[in-house]
Structure formats: C-alpha cells, structure tokens
Structure 1
Amino acid sequence: MIKQEPDGKDGKVEQRAAEKEDKIEETKETGALSDLTILDLTRVVAGPFCSSLLGDMGARVIKIERPGTGDDSRAYGPYVNGESAYFAMLNRSKYGITLNLKTEEGKAIFLEMVKKADVVLENYRPGVMEKLGLGYEELRKINDQIIYAAVSGFGSYGPYSKRPGYDILAQAMGGLMSLTGPKDGEPTRAGNAMGDILGGMNMAIGVLAAVHARTLIGHGQKVDIALVDSIAVSLENAFTRYWVTNEVYKRNGNAYAALAPYDSYRARDGLCIIACGNQKLFEIFSREVAGHPEWIDDPRFLSNVLRVENMDELKILIEGWSRSYTVDELVSMALNAGVPAGPVYDISQIVKDEHIASARDMFPVVEHPVIGKMHVNGDAVKMTETAPRITKPAPLLGQDNEKIYGEFLGITRERLAGLKAEGVL
C-alpha cells in the first residue's frame, strides 16, 4: 500500500512497486487491477457502475456507506427476500463497510484509510467533500499518490457546478432527449439511465488513465466527470451537422441522419433493422434481397446524401416489400446476402439469445447471501489473460466492517462495537 516516504518520489515509487508485488502474490488469482485499492463513497448509479467495473477487473473496492440506511439505491425495487436486486446488480465485486463522515472520529478513520488507498471515488454534489474537510486538496496532503475521482451532474466547476444533477437532467441538457423520439413527437428520455452509465464509464476511463499517468508524473490527480458532458460528447454526428450546416438535428424515430436505409422496418410480426452503411450495401440490398433493382437508379436514391434527403419515400417503398415477411425471414435474407440486419429484441429475448447471453456470457449468475442465485449484467470488456470476473456478490450493509477495519487499521471487535454504539459505524 501507499506510505508517505520523506526521501522523495523515487523512494515512494519503489516502495509501492514492492508492496504491489506482495499483494498480487497474496491474491493468487490476479485481475488486471488487482494491485489497486479503491475507497468507494459513491451511491445510486453512475459511481457504483464505475466501481463495479473496476472491481470486476480485480481492484479491491471498499464501498463505504452511511450507517443505518446505506446507499440510496438499497431502497429501490425490485426486492427479493427484503433485499434490493437493483442495489445488488450495481454493487457486486465490492467489500462493504459503514462509516459516518459527519463525525470527527469517522473523518479520522477515513483519512487513515486514504493513506493506504490508491483511489477515492465520490459522487456528492461539488463542494460537499470540501465542507467535510475531505476534498482532494486535503487528501493529497496525506497521500500525494491518491487518485480522486468525482462524478456529478455538471462537474466540479462552471456556472452549473452546484446544481443537483440526475440522469434525466443530463439527457435533457446534454441533448440526447432532443434527438430521441418519434418524428414530430416530443423529446424523449432514453429508456435506461444513459447519462449515469456513460458517466460511470468515463469515470472508469479517467481512473485508469490517472493510474497510468501516476507512473509517468510520480503522483496522483483529480478526475472530474460530468453526466451532462458524457451525454454531449456521445452525440457525435448531431454536433458535426450543426457546426457544418447550422442545422439542428430533428427527431426521426429510428432513422439516422447520416445514412439510409438505416432504420427499423415493419415486418409481418414485428420490426427488423436493416443497416446499409455504404453504396455497395444499398445496391446489394435493393437487387439481391428486396428484388427491386430499380431503386438503385431512382434519381431520389442515387447516393447516400440523396437517400437521406428522401428517406421517408425510401422507407415507404421498403416497407411495401418487408411487410410480406416475418422478422426472421427478413434477417435471414439480408444476412445471406451480406447486408447487416437484425431483430429488435425485447429484454426477454436478449436474455435467451445464444450469442449475447450464452456465448458472450453477458448475464452470469451469482449467489447473494440473502437474495440467493441471481442474474447480474456481465462485463462488456473481454480479455484473454486477465478477464474481468465478478468476484463476490454485493455486500450487505456493513458486512465487512470487522474484516476491513481490522486489516486496515487494526481496530478490534470490541472497539468496533463501541464505534457502532457511538454512531460512527
């Protein structure tokens, strides 16, 4: 772990390297991040999603929750045997302890743990940690190697930094809602917490970049992630079109402003996606799949630019053909000709799919101490040598107090009972 050495940067780096080797040897099964210890103060979605990714990659993540109530998401359904499956999904691969950071004793305990940690994660509103005396500037004084990562609605600086931030606000102000929904319909929130998920991903990327940078610059740094930033940068072509043409992207259902045909099309029993990403694919689709070679020479569809301008007319023609077939038939015909196509799945179909659910193992089963066997979302990152894996189910509130506090600070069981009675744990 990290120790504050008086003899300069080189001594600290060597000490850290030796201690990391010891820790890796002790763990036997080495994950890609098994030499990192992370103190996780985050709650609800964005931060916990980030720390679950890092935990699956082998980091030792210690989730720190408020005594008594814990993470807000413990109160979110659905419930199984009185435990939140929502919380359990987002908090696997972590140890769980309780600590009241509003008490002086709680702050002192946290600061001692920071001395032995690599990363601190938090998603309080900017300024909260500073008011507690636990902001980045204070933490770096006791451990200049610490990487401090914060995610919030609007980031730690700027005119909106002190505003409360939730996923729906990020989607609204970041632009995603303006692009989503039926043509001529109202702006629509994406069905999942896309702002939180993208924010959590960017937080993980920032942490990994800072961990690498530490080997280059010799000390840690602060990583600042905003949900609204994460949404805004994900909109790619919408902003490009605006900068180039001054055109504000209009909602267009499942169609795409850059390509056509690239949309959902009505089949006899549902919707099928057909995605012609270039001129060659459009010609193959028209000639070999749909049996309408005349579309290729139609003046409205001679180029991708023209097809985008006339996508409504093209969709009418395609659906005049596609409605005669089932989704499975359309997909099979398109794929046999080399044209990208696929069904529009609902959740019940995804979890049974032979590729996504089975071959790619995206919904592994874990054994939770209260819930029992439960499916959780797997990892999208696949690696040949240090593959991410779920190391443990989500912790019960305060489950690992004795183990973690005993190991980190040498606190005895009797003292833990006293701290609990005092409201510190």
Structure 2
Amino acid sequence: MILTSEKTDMSIFEQLESEVRSYCRSFPTVFEKAKGYKLWDREGREYIDFFAGAGALNYGHNNSRMKEKLIEYLSSDGVIHSLDMATSAKESFLRRFHDVILKPRNLEYKVMFPGPTGTNTVESALKLARKVTGRDTVVSFTRAFHGMTLGSLAVTGNAFKRKGAGIPLTHSVSLPYDQYDEHVDSLTLLERYLEDKGSGMDLPAAVILETVQGEGGINVASSEWLKQVEQICRRHGVLLIVDDVQAGCGRTGTYFSFEPAGIKPDIVCLSKSLSGYGLPFAITLIRPDLDEWGPGEHNGTFRGHNLAFVAATEALNFWETDDFAKEIQRKGEKVRTNLERIAEKHSSQNGEVRGRGLMLGISFPQEGFAEEVCKEAFKRGLIMETAGPDSEVAKLLPPLTIDDEGLEKGLSILDESVEAASRSLL
C-alpha cells in the first residue's frame, strides 16, 4: 500500500503544458516504466492499472510478444510511414484480420484506414453514411461519446465536451439510450418520427451507437434493444453504425461487442486496443456495397502506421480460438461478484454495479463520491478513472490479460478506497 506523503515535482507540466491536460491531474506523478498490469513512477512506486490507457491497452503494457515483433521490424529497417501505400506489414494485417476475425464470424467488410484515432474512424463513418445516402441527419443517443472533433462531438451527449466546440453542432438528433428512462420507449418514438411526415425529423443517414457506453457511465444496451434498432434501420433504409472504439477488441468478452446481440452493423468503428500495444491505429469496417469512396476522397497522413500493423497482427493470435474470450468472461464475472460485494458492504452509498465483460463500474449517487474513490485508490496504488456525465461512476478497465492475483489486489484496494471515501465525505 502506497499512502505516501511524498509529493512528486509536477512543476514542469504546470509551467509548460496547456491547462487542457487532464490525466496528469488525476494521477499526479511521473510514470517511468510499465509492464503487464503494472506501472512504476519515478520514485519507484508501483501501481496496479485498472485504467489501461482508457481501454487502449487491452493486452497490457509492453506485451512481450508484440514488443519482440516490433523490435524485429525496426531492426530490419521495415517501412514505418507509408500513407496508404501497399506494404508487407499492411498486407499481413489485412490477411490475418480477415482470417481470424471477419471470416469466422461470417462478416463481410471492406477495411478502411482513416487517421489513427477513435474520432477519426467515427468521422469517416459519418462522412461515408452521408455520402452514400445523400442525407444529413444522424441519430445518436443520450450519454453517448463518439469523439472530440466536430462531427463526432455533434453525436456526443456530454454538455461540457460539446460546449468546447465553440460553434453550433448540427445535423444530429439525440434520443434516449436503452433504459435511460423507464417511462420513455425511445425506439417506438424513433419509428413514429420516421413514419410521420409531420414529425419534423428528416429521414436520417444513419444511427450511431455504442453497445456499452464507456465515457457515458458504463451503460449497457440489451440485445433486444440492439436488435430492434437494427430492424428499424433496415425497414427505413437507414445505416447502422456501431462505435466499438472502447467496447471492441474483446473488452466486453467477445471481439466485437455486438456479437451477443447477433446484429450486423453496416459500418463498424475500431481503434484504441486495435494495435494491441497502445500505438495509434484505427480502422473503419464498411459493408462492401457502401464503399463508394473515390481514391483519396478521405485521407490522412498517418493512416499507414506500419508499427501498428505489426503489433496488431501479433495481437490477433489471442483470437485464434475461443479460449481468450472465455477467460475474459470468467474474469468479468469474478470482478462483477466482487463489485457487488463491495456495493453491498458499503450499502449506505447505494452503489449500482454496471457493465459487461471487463468493462465494469460502480455508480454512486452522491455527488463527488466516485471521484473521491478514485483519488483514494491512487493514494493506495490503484489507477482508475470516473465515467458518466457527472463523474458518478468509478470505472474499471483492467487489461484483459491481467491474472487473478492482480484482480484481487486491485479489488481489495478498491474496497479500502470506498471505505476511505465514505469516511472523508461524512
């Protein structure tokens, strides 16, 4: 247990880095080394990582197999930057991704390489949907988070982040997410809007959603709701986009988070853990008949990140069988059981356990409580963040490769942190 009174010198960041910095305020130390599910700071203090790069490190820090492949590629003077030129690294990734991920799931998609971030893949999806349909409006849902660039912000629900745009965010309509309000049936409302020529809603180009809302508060959509969304889209000729940037790449227990619902989106957005190593990388999966791009019509200087191709190809070895998915689901149940025990133990805080797979959290109604829990956790050597419009959810995103010992240590610290937060806010 850390609980040290030593204060790390953060002055250089305070003097020279923009006020927009965020995570270095939440975790005020200088990190120097990382391996697996652990981080170490400059003073040698050890931390268990239940943050995993906001979901970009599903396979942990510095995975040995991926690191070996990267070093080998660098040592051979392999092409690093190539825009969208053909390279052997890209060829290997495309082949493996098709053979290991798409083909076994009977999914037929063309692979587009936009810029290397989550918001890049979302922007490309929105742009293509509007191009193909000739329509402007995109339907999104309350508490959604799809990125920080203007198109992605327009379909994001968070008021604080939307305000940062500085201009009106248009051509989007937000409806209640599944279970947002027990008195509102959002999908019946959507269908009535689409059928009624007097509703004021133009026929949208697309509906975009997350099957599990990460930044929005670990809100889980039911399979029934997702199927109904897909059916409505099919009936009205509206494209369905699933943003799997955070919930994908195994985070919820299956490679794509939408697999248990049995739906087939028209467009899928992937990033974060796609590279497997924390390297910037994103792809947009497109139903083949929708691939109407002209050459270079959407591009980006860093869409040919060959180091990311190398690491991502190696990461696909985890998915050659169902074993890894089963392990994620087992660990997820273990964490959920422990979170429910913690919530029951501290019942006065009225905590509600949410999530699926290893994308979990506890929602606390008391203002500021979840933030206090995360502060106390950091003091004790556990890194985790909050989620939700009011930062009301203490969110857990441990690496999928974490062992039981690491989970148990981290959960024990979380238990102590909830106890400490309860005392401090009395």
Indicate the TM-score class for this superposition, using the shorter chain for normalisation.
under 0.3
Structure ID, larger Rg: 1
TM-score, structure 2 normalization: 0.23
Which structure's relative contact order is higher, taking Cα pairs within 8 Å and 6+ residues apart? 2
